[in-house]
Amino acid sequence: MKKSVSTAVLMAVLSVPAFAGCDKPAAPAGIPDGKSAEMNDMMNAKKAVDSFKKEMETYMSCEKSDMKLQMAQDELEKVANRFNAEVRAFKAKG
């Protein structure tokens, strides 16, 4: 009995890292206003959005809840749409 309990505890401890990576990432803190931002600000925002996208895709690959997956997809699209709107505004200012 002791051996099977020890084995169960060991298996539980070893399986924790497999689920540890399934944490929903936070969206970028802020996206600069394209009408007034400098190129450096927009490039930093692009890096943050790209990183968020990659982290969100990793999260979505391990999340099992359909509702959480849909919420994550919606958030990802919202961030991408906002960033793209600011890029258009940045490009429009010349």
For residue 43, the model assigns a pLDDT of 97
> Does residue 7 carry a pLDDT above 60?
no
pTM for this prediction: 0.76
pLDDT per residue over 20-51, tens digit each?
Answer: 569 999 999 999 999 999 999 999 999 999 99
> Does residue 5 carry a pLDDT above 80?
no
For residue 94, the model assigns a pLDDT of 78
Residues 46, 91: Cα–Cα separation, whole Å: 14
pLDDT per residue over 52-94, tens digit each?
Answer: 999 999 999 999 999 999 999 999 999 999 999 999 999 998 7
